[in-house]
Structure 1
Amino acid sequence: MKGTDGLLELFSPPVVRNKLLATDEDPMYTVMTKFLSWGIAAKLVVLFMIFGAIPMTAVGLIAYGAAEDSKDNIGSRFLSEAQTLADKIDRNLFERYGDVQAFGYNDAITRISEWYDPSELNLVSQVMNKYVIAYGIYDLAMLVDTKGDLIAVNFLNAKGIPINSKFMFKQNFSETPWFKALVAGQYTTKMPFTAPGNDVSSGTFIEDVHVDPMVKQALGNDGLVMGFSAPVFDVNGKVVAYWSNRTSFSVVEQMIQATFKNLKAQGFPGAEITLLDSVGRVIVDFDPSTSGTEDIVRNYDVLMKLDLVQKGVFMAKEVVLGKAGFSTELHARKNLMQVGGYYHLTGALGYPGMNWSVIVRVLESNAAAAANAVQQKVLMAGLICLAVLVPIGWFVGRKGAANIIGISTVAQRAAEGDLTQRASVTSRDELGQLAGAMNSMLDNISHVVGEVRQAAEHVSTGAAEITQGNEDLSQRTSAQAGALEETSASM
């Protein structure tokens, strides 16, 4: 090592030399050293886990990313639901905008002799009854003259049941907002956020949702309605009367109820749908998870009183400004995180729409349930794969290690001089080939050793014969020498 260190110092640049000399202190070097010191079984287990974990991790990351994208798309999904609901409301109320003008063309109105009759014989009132029953959404249909006196009103409700509307003939409507607007020729043609092209309708004055005391008295309900009113013209185009429909607000609530059922069918039973007025006050609070029922509940402690903008609700503050989008925020009353989409009504088919906003919200945990389930399944699949890979790696490692240990044992015995042992590996892989080569080598060595031993025995026998011949020659030489000595002495 000293000579090697000298070469390093001699041929390595200072920076490289410092890195090479610091190898023993490198954490990666330490890890590799420990890894290489492990047995085959342990190494194979680790390798199995590594090479199994790499593709599994890649798939897991892709699935996790897809689940996260799914969570992001949930917000846009609820934005789409809010937009769809807003469009449904606009399209439905577009027809209400036109109904009141169409009703004014009925020929019964021209029969002035029928005007002001408070009895059920009033022909105009009979026509109104038919309209109310046929459409099923109007609480009151009223016709007043140009001075504000009542000409006719329906005396049956949408189910054909008599109502108490005769008292209205004693009323004068000249001071009502809708009457004054019609007299002044002021029609609802545009709202603050009416979309281009939806500001072409005219001829009808709209009253926002409100509690109408006359509806309340006549029908005995809470009187929550919207107003659609329009002038009635004679054949010469002169205004002769004004028609006003008190439209039940249930027509809007039923659309919200239908949207909830659709969300519930999609797996969001905890969905909450809120309809706001122009400033952010709640006019529909449909939240079955809180109310305990999927029926419409009108809580007047909330309706037209609870201002979500003043409460600091981000979605409410955005949507009353005409913005559309989605976000996740804490529900102040529930103290839970919600994902929601919001959209402002913009009108439809030339109708300007109402200055309302829709918010559709769902608990974040419920909204992300499907995405979370995907992530949990991916995690579970990963754990199962690891659980399978570890015993497989251990089994294969032990199997491979056993074969290698068998070969190693034979080689060790051969090194000690025992050439009779053979490796018993029968597989056709590299270990099997190594064992076969080891056995062939030992056979060859045994053969060579046998031949060497036989040759050594031959050499040993020849040496013994030579030694015996030398001894015989020595004896004969000694005998001959003795004989010569005797002959010499006798001479």
Structure 2
Amino acid sequence: MIMFKKLSFKMKLMGILSVMSVSTIGLFVYQAKRTNDAFRTAKESHLRGTVEGLLEKIDRNLFERYGDVQAYALSEPARSLDPTRITAFINDMMATYAPVYDLMIVTDVKGKVIAASSVGKNGKPIDVKPLMGADYSAKPWFKASVSDRVAAGSSFVEDMQLDEEVASLTGSPGKVMNFSSPIRDRETGRIIGVWSNRMSWADVVESIIKEETAKIKNDQITVVAASIVDSKGMYLFHPKGSEFELKRTHDQFHPADAGADQLPIREIADGMIEAGVVSHGYSTYPGRGWGAVVSIPAEDKASLERAQFLMLACAVIIAANILAWIVIFRTSLSVERMVARLFADSAQIKTSATNVSDASQRLSSSTTEQAAAIAETATSMEEMTAMLVAVSAMAAACSVVDE
């Protein structure tokens, strides 16, 4: 504070302006950062909501498939174990739920195929003769369905897999999910067979992903990449298809790991940010412990425009402060020169005042001396008058004597 007082007027002005400039720019940058953080938070919240919505829609659809197979297994045609009745019912269900299923099959309690869908989801016939009598007793879905692992009111579900039989029979890629449920005798509840559906992965899960990602895209978000991973992080769906699916795992997101309820939002390559969420199923469908991952650009058209605006505004503020600095610098020089002249004039006035004061004192002293001289002269004249009076009196006295 003492040093500030010792500074010149110009330096004080420049110091004040510098502090104000730095404060203004700092406040602007702080507000700009807060605004940018708010937009970023909103985008991240929207991204996580998108992932959750995507996974929920997939789980809701799989919940329906989870219930379909149970309903089919409880039907009278299924319980009859009559191949003709079952085949007719299967074909009706294939048409009703098209294009959800690629194939439906029914086995007896020993795993022998007794019926299968002979009409595909596109209405074209399927040659299922090679399937008739085939032994599936060693298949995981059959073993689980005839064991205590699948209780009443539930189904056995497997992750997406490549089914060569489905591919061969239907001409599809063979990417399916298996939903299986035991067929129980109405009276005894004893397991008498198994109903197993091959859900089309492309027409259900991939279709949902494409539909949901298309909803996200707009003028600001032009790129959206979604993936589905199994509980161990293996890709079940990836934008690059077979290059990743069932071959590679996500580098960080493994839903089965403890505490991996979600993948924290993070920045990845190519200027993208991604978020992941773990599936917990839907209603009675327990889920498979999958995870969904969605990535979008970290920067979009709007954010770039905001950044450009902020840069321009910051440049304007800096330019304005520089201009103010120059104006004040020049003004301070003028003020300094004016103050210097005022100080000079003040010194002259002070000197003149001193001279006048001295002259006044000398004049006063001279006047006093003259007054003393006049007083002395008056006294002398009084004395002379008295002497004249005395002489006159003496002369008068002498005149009387002479007479």
Q: TM-score, normalised by structure 2?
A: 0.71
1:388-444 deviations in Å (ceiling 9; x for gaps): 455467568868987997898799899999xxxxxxxxxxxxxxxxxxxxxxxxxxx
Aligned partners of 1:75 and 1:327 also within 8 Å:
yes
Tell me by how many angstroms 1:307 deviates: 2.7
Tell me by how many angstroms 1:100 deviates: 0.5
Is there any run of 5+ residues in structure 1 with no aligned partner, and where? 1-19, 24-28, 117-121, 190-200, 292-297, 418-491
Aligned pairs for 1:428-467 (under 5 A) are none
Worse-superposed segment, 322-331 or 135-144: 322-331
Residue identity opposite 2:276 in structure 1: Y
Aligned pairs for 1:160-239 (under 5 A) are 160-187=123-150, 202-236=153-187, 237-239=189-191
Q: Does 1:304 align with 2:246?
A: yes
Q: Distance in 2 between matches of 1:125 and 1:143?
A: 9
Q: Distance in 2 between matches of 1:320 and 1:138?
A: 32
Q: Distance in 2 between matches of 1:318 and 1:233?
A: 35
SS at match of 1:274: strand
Tell me by how many angstroms 1:256 deviates: 2.0
Instruction: Select 2:121's aligned residue among 146, 158, 174.
Output: 158
SS at match of 1:265: coil
In the other structure, the counterpart of 1:7 is none
Aligned partners of 1:45 and 1:394 also within 8 Å:
no
Aligned pairs for 1:383-462 (under 5 A) are 383-388=315-320, 390-391=322-323
In the other structure, the counterpart of 1:100 is 69
Q: Does 1:246 align with 2:246?
A: no
Structure 1 residues 392 and 279: alpha-carbon distance in aligned structure 2, compared to 1, 3 A threshold: closer
Q: Distance in 2 between matches of 1:182 and 1:411?
A: 107
Tell me by how many angstroms 1:215 deviates: 0.7
Structure 1 residues 303 and 397: alpha-carbon distance in aligned structure 2, compared to 1, 3 A threshold: closer
In the other structure, the counterpart of 1:130 is 92
1:178-222 deviations in Å (ceiling 9; x for gaps): 2222222322x8xxxxxxxxxxx8431112211112211110112
Tell me by how many angstroms 1:153 deviates: 1.5
Q: Distance in 2 between matches of 1:130 and 1:404?
A: 101
Structure 1 residues 36 and 401: alpha-carbon distance in aligned structure 2, compared to 1, 3 A threshold: closer
In the other structure, the counterpart of 1:279 is 232
Residue identity opposite 1:60 in structure 2: V
Identity level (%): 24
Residue identity opposite 1:305 in structure 2: K
Q: Does 1:324 align with 2:275?
A: no
- Aligned CA-pair RMSD: 3.9
Tell me by how many angstroms 1:148 deviates: 2.4
Aligned partners of 1:104 and 1:243 also within 8 Å:
yes
Q: Distance in 2 between matches of 1:55 and 1:167?
A: 81
SS at match of 1:92: helix
In the other structure, the counterpart of 2:275 is 341
Q: Which is higher, the Rg of structure 1 or of structure 2?
A: 2
Q: Which has the higher contact order (CA 8 A, sep 6+)?
A: 1
SS at match of 1:139: strand
In the other structure, the counterpart of 2:288 is 354
Tell me by how many angstroms 1:266 deviates: 7.5
Residue identity opposite 1:353 in structure 2: G
In the other structure, the counterpart of 1:11 is none
Residue identity opposite 2:246 in structure 1: M
Structure 1 residues 220 and 411: alpha-carbon distance in aligned structure 2, compared to 1, 3 A threshold: same
Q: Distance in 2 between matches of 1:64 and 1:329?
A: 18
1:218-261 deviations in Å (ceiling 9; x for gaps): 10112111111112234313433321111111211222223322
Residue identity opposite 2:253 in structure 1: A
Aligned pairs for 1:14-25 (under 5 A) are none
Q: Does 1:86 align with 2:55?
A: yes
Q: TM-score, normalised by structure 1?
A: 0.60
Q: Distance in 1 between matches of 2:53 and 2:266?
A: 20
1:438-490 deviations in Å (ceiling 9; x for gaps): xxxxxxxxxxxxxxxxxxxxxxxxxxxxxxxxxxxxxxxxxxxxxxxxxxxxx
Is there any run of 5+ residues in structure 2 with no aligned partner, and where? 350-403
Aligned pairs for 1:251-266 (under 5 A) are 251-265=204-218
Residue identity opposite 1:232 in structure 2: I
1:313-350 deviations in Å (ceiling 9; x for gaps): 2x32466444324143555xxxx564322222111213
Structure 1 residues 61 and 96: alpha-carbon distance in aligned structure 2, compared to 1, 3 A threshold: same
